[in-house]
Amino acid sequence: NTDSACVASTGSMRVVGLVSGGKDSIWNLHYCHYFQHEVLCLAHLAPPEGVQEMDSYMYQTVGSELVNSIAEAMELPLVRRNITGAPKNLENGSYVPQEGDEVEDLFLLLQQVLQAFPVDAVSCGAILSDYQRCRVENVCSRLGLKVFAFLWRQEQPLLLNQMIAGGLDARIVKVACMGLDQRHIGKSILDNSFAAHVMQLGKKWGVHVCGEGGEYESAGAVWS
């Protein structure tokens, strides 16, 4: 898709980073810095007050309470909005705007961003999900924004090794697959034993080592 960028061919642009608090959205910002784009702010969609985790097809909500601290650590302003919609249009490869769909919360969030910051592009940590990618692209195209998804379709063992080599201290906050259990909660991806274990699960059972199949979720990600 011409609205997505996986190479640094567009010149320096002003970027808002969509962040969940997890490692992928933060690592994509690392790529933005590497390609000399200017990150002006972060943007986050949080679950409603009093809710820790939502049944969302689009957004990671576990660890949302850490996003403010991540923004402070990165010394970037944060635009935050609560999710009010629900997944309605569930077709995988396409999206038509629908009132009350959770995707429209992203549209409203980025509208808020544009009112406060002169951004040209959106940083998105999507790796494998066509469902998420096409919805982010739909919203951004409606607002005249480019999408920077530098992690898109990269080999996940390569990506995880990049994050580890870059010192990205992301902690495991949820596990949901065979081979991962309560013992792994709180582990950092920088922990050699955890990284080796996940890589082994990938070889043995085809587990997505970056957690793209929902195998685990991370939070508190900041690179050194």
* DSSP calls for 7-33: SS-S-S-EEEEE--SSHHHHHHHHHHH
- How many CB atoms neighbour CB 72 within 10 A? 10
Residues ≥6 apart with Cβ < 8 Å to 124 = 18, 25, 28, 132, 133, 136, 147, 148, 149
Cα 52 to chain centroid, rounded: 17
Q: What is the pLDDT of residues 148-158, one digit of tens each?
A: 999 999 999 99
Q: What is the pLDDT of residues 62-113, one digit of tens each?
A: 889 999 999 999 999 999 999 999 999 898 888 999 999 999 999 999 999 9
Residue with tokens 């949820």: 174
Sign of torsion over alpha carbons 108, 112, 118, 119? negative
- Least Cα distance to 68 among 104, 36, 42 occurs for 42
